[in-house]
Structure 1
């Protein structure tokens, strides 16, 4: 059963610390600083104050600068004025967006501020609505620019740990480990639930290593048909088998000089595990049909959302290969353990999807909506958050995402923790929302019927009732324990439905191999599901 925290259960300090962006207010006038602080706080942001330009430069070039999302900078200040502070920050590669404010709105002042690197300009006294629109638009534009930069870097193999969005101490430990691993060629095993960002960490390790100018080749081992795994990884010669009309270069050779990232490495068949072990030990591979082995120079990063040591104990993964892969383990915590990352991730996803969907007016998230997102358990982690924000942007008709744009999350958070729940849901969101809504009368009916007097000849009607969502009946209609084959067939059917026919995921969650699953599908007359594994 999944624990779903309510907003009331979260510490108020944690919500306030992470539900919104942080704005640096730089002004030598204490009254003006206080007025701006009250305004941005009312808009739902956090504020930090600086009395002059020198103090602002010190903040932005220090460790605290990473937490600042936007700067409101006064033009006229003693010691170091706004233009001077802005020039120094830009010279030191501080790219945080800046709104410059002044009591004099001449065209020369505007041109000077923009040339120095400001993104917007307001004249004192600025109206609250004008300031709020400017803040929202700049935060959105900045997030979209960061997303574009991140995509380009990932595609070119130059993504670094500085490009990863996080404010979480737990993720800082992950990044520190990744930086250490990047400085060597040590084999790395990244573990963590689905959707936590394992591929992003692998890309950052590659982009921070000496191999950053070389290719990063990614292989999802769970999505390759079992009969093609060896050919795709190691390659084959022309005529090596029926259908091999041309020579094929495998992923190991594609990654020569660079990095090979094997995602879901626990899904590799046993015969391929042997060849992978040899590739690691000898630095050479045997393409199918080749007369001699081929030398390869690669750095291996593996990832899995299952505990490989458990698979070793079950006999489905080679123990010697496990110890070759697990030289430098890195565990990525789930999103529910790093709620500090949700605001930044949400803003970045919002900026991207608002641009993709042609909704430039959607430029922010209300504080209540952000607090709701942080109160949810996120079993699907960052990938689920991304899809949730996507749907919210499509639903949104106003300038900001509100609680009404997240009906499934609101329904799940409002559900008491005692209500049966799932550990993961990959079905459409409409089904998910219905599943989270409890049916008190139906769930309490068995209790009332058992308490009421029953005729001695009557069969207890509770045996005839369907189990609540997420539970299975262990008694048949006559009150006897159900047969094991019936229970097994039911749970396989439930898993197929629960994971939308993705058979690799079904086998993984059931803890059995794909060949075993296919055999059981035939035994229970479920052959129509065989072959629907393309989306796995």
Structure 2
């Protein structure tokens, strides 16, 4: 292990501070010291420590406040707490804030040296992870995001800068461009990575239910509230809360959300007790929030609270050089879930066909097109005949390569029969994986179950045609 690590000792007792400095210096470490949180922040900005030895009881603030202040400045050193007043509550609080180790004073030199060695080893590993992530960025891969176009490389750079801080981030972009994928990437490389990531779609709930979803409710707060429920803010405590489709939030709810963000406390519906929360907010919208502000449909003060740092996910039509890599990525994912398929990739003609499309549904549309093509092409390369027309003039219609891949619907068939054939063949191609089949078909899992139940009832459970399909249903 590198012996010239930088260690910051934050301790208000001068004798203890000097003793720690001497012990660590003897082991070959570079040591800086501070006696309170304010001076520790200043020293950390100058010194950039790999590890901080931190006393909890400091004259100006609780020692754990230093962790928050460092993270707000984009620093995330390994933290070891030293305290003469150990308690279960303080230990739990320390662990929730990401403290690496928690030692009670007086501590034996051997134990301290062992803890510091482990902490610095962890710091080295984290540094190596950061280095590998930067290499992947240059290669067009960042967490779950794919692409090496200039727009994506710039996005990776911005994410790498903002993720280590505690700043609120507003993610803007068209539907299907991967805003939640981006939000999860920000969380995964932040100091909160080991804590909860909670996502809520603000457009999925009526206003009365959205308040309960976000803030929770007490038993009896409204009709049907038979038990108390923890809301998303409390679920995400010490972690990250992702508010998707924030532009759809009603004005009254915007006011309540703003209060929670300002006070860092939440009150459940029907309750009187305010619960302190420590949550990083990421918000996203496919709407023009500036236009909504001008129309009086989105609060300016909430906008500024959320828009500390802004990221934009580019539409697929503006990063077409990434299309082939994205298509291959989605195909690999499908084949991993369906190992019996023998699809090998895309022909040059198929890729050219895909690149000619404007992709109004962006990356989400591409993923669905690739999965459907993989259903139709059970082996070999995906070719243009496995791809849809996209509703554009002059495009060739989908024509499967052979009868094994085809869904044959005779002219004059009823819509219900056509639907039945498509559902059962898709389910067979997915080897009975109903969630995967529902995703490819573009229907809910509940709808798929309903249709399968209807087919079972209609056939009396003994249809020869349905036999192979039911055999794959699990």
| TM interval, short-chain normalised | 0.5 to 0.7
- Which residue of structure 1 aligns with residue 346 of structure 2? 365
What is the deviation of 1:162? 4.0
> Normalising by the residue count of structure 1, what TM-score does the alignment of the two structures yield?
0.47
Q: How many angstroms apart in 1 are the aligned matches of 2:443 and 2:371?
A: 23
Q: How many angstroms apart in 2 are the aligned matches of 1:413 and 1:210?
A: 50
- Which residue of structure 1 aligns with residue 99 of structure 2? none
2:321 aligned to which of 340, 343, 356 = 340
Q: Secondary structure at the match of 1:407?
A: coil
Q: How many angstroms apart in 1 are the aligned matches of 2:357 and 2:314?
A: 16
What is the deviation of 1:247? 0.7
Residue 323, structure 1, aligned to residue 271, structure 2:
no
Moved over 4 A (4+): none
Q: How many angstroms apart in 1 are the aligned matches of 2:388 and 2:227?
A: 52
- Which residue of structure 2 aligns with residue 276 of structure 1? 257
What is the deviation of 1:358? 4.8
Residue 412, structure 1, aligned to residue 398, structure 2:
no
Kindly indicate whether the alpha-carbon contact (under 8 Å) linking 1:376 and 1:413 is maintained by their aligned counterparts in 2: no
Q: Secondary structure at the match of 1:408?
A: coil
Kindly indicate whether the alpha-carbon contact (under 8 Å) linking 2:331 and 2:370 is maintained by their aligned counterparts in 1: yes
- Which residue of structure 1 aligns with residue 293 of structure 2? 312
Kindly indicate whether the alpha-carbon contact (under 8 Å) linking 1:226 and 1:269 is maintained by their aligned counterparts in 2: yes
How many residues were matched structurally? 263
Q: Any idea what the Cα deviations from partners look like across 1:78-134, whole Å, max 9, x if unmatched? A: xxxxxxxxxxxxxx99xxxxxxxxxxxxxxxxxxxxxxxxxxxxxxxxxxxxxxxxx
Name the Cα RMSD after superposition: 2.6
Kindly indicate whether the alpha-carbon contact (under 8 Å) linking 1:284 and 1:294 is maintained by their aligned counterparts in 2: yes
Residue 211, structure 1, aligned to residue 186, structure 2:
no
What is the deviation of 1:271? 1.6
Kindly indicate whether the alpha-carbon contact (under 8 Å) linking 2:345 and 2:382 is maintained by their aligned counterparts in 1: yes
Q: How many angstroms apart in 1 are the aligned matches of 2:359 and 2:393?
A: 11
Change (3 A) 1:501 1:396: closer
Q: How many angstroms apart in 2 are the aligned matches of 1:355 and 1:299?
A: 34
What is the deviation of 1:501? 13
Q: Secondary structure at the match of 1:412?
A: coil
Provide structure 2 residue ranges, at least 5 long, that are not aligned to the other structure.
1-127, 130-135, 396-441, 445-474
- Which residue of structure 1 aligns with residue 72 of structure 2? none
Q: Any idea what the Cα deviations from partners look like across 1:296-349, whole Å, max 9, x if unmatched? A: 000000000011111111121111111111111111110010012111111111
Kindly indicate whether the alpha-carbon contact (under 8 Å) linking 1:222 and 1:264 is maintained by their aligned counterparts in 2: yes
- Which residue of structure 2 aligns with residue 293 of structure 1? 274
Higher RCO, Cα 8 Å, sep 6+: 1
2:217 aligned to which of 220, 233, 236 = 236
Q: How many angstroms apart in 2 are the aligned matches of 1:277 and 1:180?
A: 26
Change (3 A) 1:261 1:246: same
Give the alignment of 1:18-417 within 5 angstroms. Answer: 161-409=142-390, 412=392, 414=394
Provide structure 1 residue ranges, at least 5 long, that are not aligned to the other structure.
1-91, 94-145, 147-159, 416-499, 503-536
> Normalising by the residue count of structure 2, what TM-score does the alignment of the two structures yield?
0.53
Q: How many angstroms apart in 2 are the aligned matches of 1:286 and 1:398?
A: 56
Q: Secondary structure at the match of 2:311?
A: strand
Q: How many angstroms apart in 2 are the aligned matches of 1:334 and 1:403?
A: 23
Kindly indicate whether the alpha-carbon contact (under 8 Å) linking 1:275 and 1:285 is maintained by their aligned counterparts in 2: no
Kindly indicate whether the alpha-carbon contact (under 8 Å) linking 2:172 and 2:285 is maintained by their aligned counterparts in 1: yes
